[in-house]
């Protein structure tokens, strides 16, 4: 959680950032001499152009859709506003379509497969993904405390989207960029649609909280009270707590000719204080930051009863302004643009450039202002003026601001007399792969002998990360026969045992080389610190490649054995992070295949040295040839379909956005190839369009685990080609990152992945099926059938020989 990363009762979210306080001026100008905010005028800047761009013939009938088409190149009438702009339904039953942000366009007769109308907008599709996350909080089938957690995740997701995606489009629009997205829209047009899509979601967060509040109180007695509703003895205790624990750390920042408008740190919760001088009658403004060193929810005498800290501060703020009259106190929060760009080609030092970029991000333009619904228009306008934003950037909260903090409530200890198992997901402990079980592999054989017997495929969090991947690195660090370890680190956990093992290896005299990607967004500072810690231990550290992010997840171990040097490899779809390995689904392959070992050795030569023209025997590497390789595999399925009628593709990924691959999938569908895709987040492809994607089905799975693995299956006329890898079919992943995928050659392991893909695309209870018009409809659950993730958990527990032992 960005605004509360230091709160002692909260947990760190994956994309969290923190900002220190500063008195730097927000807009570079001094306030008027009187600092009388009652005279501040609202911005009259026009909002972004709200035209709907419809490339091609706007009058041509769009095929394969049941919903009303988007309007042509003109202002959008009320009738064309998507479901996302309709009243919020807080209790939509399973099988109902969700609110929708995407604005599909008519497909002109005879349009080519690259026509913009055949692509959903990435940003709007992402908003629809976040609606699916929010539905987990609204769905009464989700355990009650987990619903709180999903509310927090939705809010955190939305914060990141506004920082990165809206911030990036605003930067493009300000720079006069007019290039079109694959769906044929300019940055300004996209912004207009996004703003109209974000507002209902922002309101829905508050609606969902209000839906959960009475259920939480009735079920377990959990209640977040308003300060005004407290009894006098409760207020007296809070007053004493305030004076002892909060008052000393508050810093009121007044605005007058000698004290300019203060810098407002990103994602920090603040209080706008409206004051009046009792003698002169002048009105004044001050800002008080809500401290992140104190818990957001302050406990009351009654168990599981709390009051928000900002309300306690607001009701005692007069103690900070002795001699002044407090006319009003209003909460607000600012969000700053995270899309700060610099030219890496001109940088002499990548670390220095990233550090400068982080400083720029801290002072980046504001892209959102959240305000208390009671805040007067004069105060709101004053903040807009000082933060240099327009009314389209202001969001009025109906209730509390910042729902990311409700994650803390989801993790609370519930007294035994109120707790029951249905409040949370059942506990899941990842299982040790049978070949690595203690007494079977760990005590009797080292992990390297297990890998020599046969490749080891692991699927987290069903298979234990600690007992497989972490053990692989730790055993390599301790093994005197190991000469060298090479590894990539994109994101890792706090107090990382992986990093500790690499340091131990270096200190014991092994050659250790690590590529630490310092451009991993929101983890830059952490990764720079990890890199320096590794360097201090004697590890050879590279900090990334100019112009590319290294997202390939790989480790290489070189071991001296009786028959010479042997390379052992781990290739994964996810990060070397022990925390997320329990929450994210990811595949990993442990192998000593000589071709893959040769390929990964070459890849590390490219990452740490100068070898841009490397060749690879088995691995598929981006940006070198990954897209072309997948395009060729799709074309082969077209040929198999034409010759034998056997064309079949299944793939699972996080995002699908590469226009060239999508167009090739359309051609494959036109040829009759059967295509099933499981895409968790945004998807530009439009399935089920007559004449274009009749044979393509797209589902999205949102559940207790975050679906993060990437797997690809091509039937190949009965000789299947199966791959796992770090990259989605997304342009930025294929062009702007170093990514790696490997073929799965063992027949049992191929069957395991194929079976898992089949379960994903046919999931009866938790999958959302994407419609041609962009709506997602959740499949009606069947009481006697397990959902996708529950089925995989059951398989892992059963440890069937044909599934778990490979």
State the catalytic residues. 551
Q: What angle do CA 205, 210, 211 make, to 5 degrees?
A: 95
> Residue 745 is encoded by which pair of tokens?
């050659």
Q: What angle do CA 152, 153, 154 make, to 5 degrees?
A: 90
- DSSP assignment string, 596-638: HHHHHHHHHHHHHSS-TT---SS-EEETTTHHHHHHHHHHHHH
Cα 249 from Cα 21, distance rounded (Å): 13
Q: What angle do CA 267, 272, 277 make, to 5 degrees?
A: 160
Contact 707, 651 (CB under 8 A): no
Helix (H), strand (E) at residue 542: strand 540-542
Query: What is the sign, positive or negative, of the torsion defined by CA atoms of 361, 362, 366, 372?
Result: positive
Contact 472, 612 (CB under 8 A): no
CA count, 13 A, side-chain hemisphere, 158:
30
Cα 27 from Cα 262, distance rounded (Å): 9
- DSSP assignment string, 474-535: HHHHH-TTEEEEEEEESS--TT-HHHHHHHHHHHTT-EEEEEE-TTSTT-HHHHHHHHHHHH
For residue 558, list its beta bridge partners. Answer: 484, 567
- Burial letters for 45-67: b for 16+ Cβ neighbours within 10 Å, e otherwise? eeebeebbbbbbebebebbbbeb
Cα 405 from Cα 306, distance rounded (Å): 13
Among the residues of 397-460, which ranges form H helices? 406-410, 447-453
Residue 184 to residues 80, 104, 257, 331, Cα–Cα distance (Å) = 18, 11, 48, 39
Question: By CB neighbour count within 10 A (0-12 exposed, 13-18 middle, 19+ buried), where does 86 fall?
Answer: exposed
**Phi (first) and psi of residue 594, to 5 degrees:** -65, -35
Query: Which residue carries 């089925």 as its tokens?
Result: 791
- Burial letters for 609-636: b for 16+ Cβ neighbours within 10 Å, e otherwise? eeeeebebebbbbbbbebbeebbebbeb
Cα 503 from Cα 214, distance rounded (Å): 51
**Phi (first) and psi of residue 685, to 5 degrees:** -70, 140
> Residue 486 is encoded by which pair of tokens?
């090479």
Closest CA to 558 of 573, 569, 545: 569
Closest CA to 162 of 206, 123, 107: 123
For the chain, what's the residue count?
806
Q: Give the distance, in angstroms, between the CA of residue 263 and the centroid of all CA atoms in the same chain.
A: 27
């Amino acid at each position: 959680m960005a605004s509360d990363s230091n709160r002692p009762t909260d947990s760190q979210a994956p994309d969290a950032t923190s900002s220190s306080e500063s008195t730097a001026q927000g807009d570079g100008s001094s306030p008027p001499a009187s600092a009388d905010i009652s005279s501040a005028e609202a911005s009259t800047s026009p909002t972004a152009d709200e035209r709907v761009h419809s490339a091609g013939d706007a009058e041509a009938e769009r095929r394969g859709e049941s919903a009303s088409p988007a309007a042509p190149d003109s202002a959008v009438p009320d009738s064309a506003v998507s479901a996302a702009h309709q009243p919020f339904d807080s209790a939509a039953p399973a099988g109902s379509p969700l609110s929708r942000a995407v604005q599909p366009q008519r497909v002109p007769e005879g349009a080519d497969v690259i026509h913009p109308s055949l692509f959903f907008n990435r940003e709007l599709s992402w908003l629809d993904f976040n609606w699916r996350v929010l539905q987990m909080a609204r769905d009464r089938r989700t355990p009650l405390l987990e619903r709180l957690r999903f509310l927090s995740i939705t809010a955190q997701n939305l914060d990141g989207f506004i920082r990165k995606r809206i911030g990036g489009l605003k930067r493009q629009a300000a720079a006069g960029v007019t290039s079109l997205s694959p769906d044929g829209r300019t940055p300004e047009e996209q912004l207009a649609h996004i703003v109209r899509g974000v507002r209902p979601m922002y309101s829905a967060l508050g609606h969902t909280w209000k839906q959960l509040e009475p259920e939480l109180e009735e079920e377990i007695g959990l209640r977040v009270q308003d300060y005004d509703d407290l009894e006098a003895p409760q207020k007296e205790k809070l007053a004493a707590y305030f004076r002892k624990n909060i008052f000393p750390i508050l810093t009121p920042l007044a605005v007058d000719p000698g004290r300019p408008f203060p810098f407002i740190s990103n994602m920090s919760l603040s209080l706008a204080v409206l004051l009046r001088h009792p003698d002169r009658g002048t009105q004044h403004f001050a800002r008080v930051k809500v401290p992140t060193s104190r818990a957001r929810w302050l406990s009351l005498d009654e168990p599981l009863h709390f009051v928000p800290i900002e309300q306690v501060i607001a009701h005692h703020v007069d103690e900070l302004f002795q001699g002044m009259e407090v006319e009003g106190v209003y909460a607000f929060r600012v969000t700053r643009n995270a899309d700060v760009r610099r030219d890496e080609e001109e940088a002499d030092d990548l670390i220095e450039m990233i550090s400068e970029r982080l400083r720029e991000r801290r002072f980046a333009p504001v892209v959102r202002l959240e305000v208390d619904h009671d805040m007067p228009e004069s105060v709101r306008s004053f903040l807009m003026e000082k933060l240099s934003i327009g009314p389209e950037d202001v969001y009025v909260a109906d209730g509390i601001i910042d729902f990311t903090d409700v994650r803390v409530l989801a993790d609370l200890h519930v007294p035994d007399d109120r707790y029951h198992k249905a409040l949370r997901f059942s506990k899941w402990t990842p299982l040790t792969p049978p070949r690595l079980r203690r007494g079977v592999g760990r005590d009797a054989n080292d992990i390297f002998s297990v890998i020599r017997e046969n490749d080891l495929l692991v699927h987290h969090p069903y298979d234990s990360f600690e007992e497989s991947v972490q053990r692989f690195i730790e055993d390599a660090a301790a093994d005197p026969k190991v000469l060298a370890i090479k590894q990539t680190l994109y994101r890792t956990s706090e107090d990382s045992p992986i990093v500790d093992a690499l340091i131990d290896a270096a200190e014991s005299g092994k050659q250790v080389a690590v590529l630490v990607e310092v451009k991993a967004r929101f983890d830059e500072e952490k990764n720079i610190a990890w890199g320096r810690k590794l360097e201090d231990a004697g590890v050879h550290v590279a900090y990334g490649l100019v112009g590319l992010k290294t997202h390939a997840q790989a480790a290489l171990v070189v071991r001296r054995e009786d028959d010479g040097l042997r390379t052992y490899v781990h290739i994964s779809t996810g990060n070397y992070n022990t925390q997320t390995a329990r929450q994210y689904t990811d595949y990993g392959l442990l192998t000593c295949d000589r071709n893959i070992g040769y390929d990964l050795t070459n890849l590390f030569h490219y990452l740490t040295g100068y070898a841009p023209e490397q060749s690879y025997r088995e691995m598929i590497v981006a940006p070198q040839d990954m897209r072309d390789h997948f395009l060729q595999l799709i074309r082969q399925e077209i040929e198999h379909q034409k010759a034998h009628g056997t064309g079949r593709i299944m793939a699972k990924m996080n995002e699908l956005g590469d226009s060239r691959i999508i167009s090739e999938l359309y051609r494959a569908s036109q040829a009759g190839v059967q295509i099933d895709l499981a895409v968790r987040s945004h998807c530009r492809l439009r399935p089920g369009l007559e004449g274009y994607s009749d044979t393509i089905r797209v589902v999205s799975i949102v559940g207790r685990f975050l679906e993060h693995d990437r797997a690809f299956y091509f039937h190949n006329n009965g000789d299947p080609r199966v791959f796992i890898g770090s990259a989605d079919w997304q342009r930025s992943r294929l062009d702007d990152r170093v990514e790696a995928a490997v073929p799965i050659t063992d027949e049992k392991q191929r069957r395991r992945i194929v079976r898992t893909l089949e379960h994903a695309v046919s999931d009866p209870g938790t999958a959302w099926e994407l419609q041609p018009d962009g709506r997602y409809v959740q499949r009606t659950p069947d009481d006697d059938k397990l959902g996708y993730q529950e089925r995989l958990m059951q398989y892992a527990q059963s440890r069937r020989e044909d599934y778990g032992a490979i």
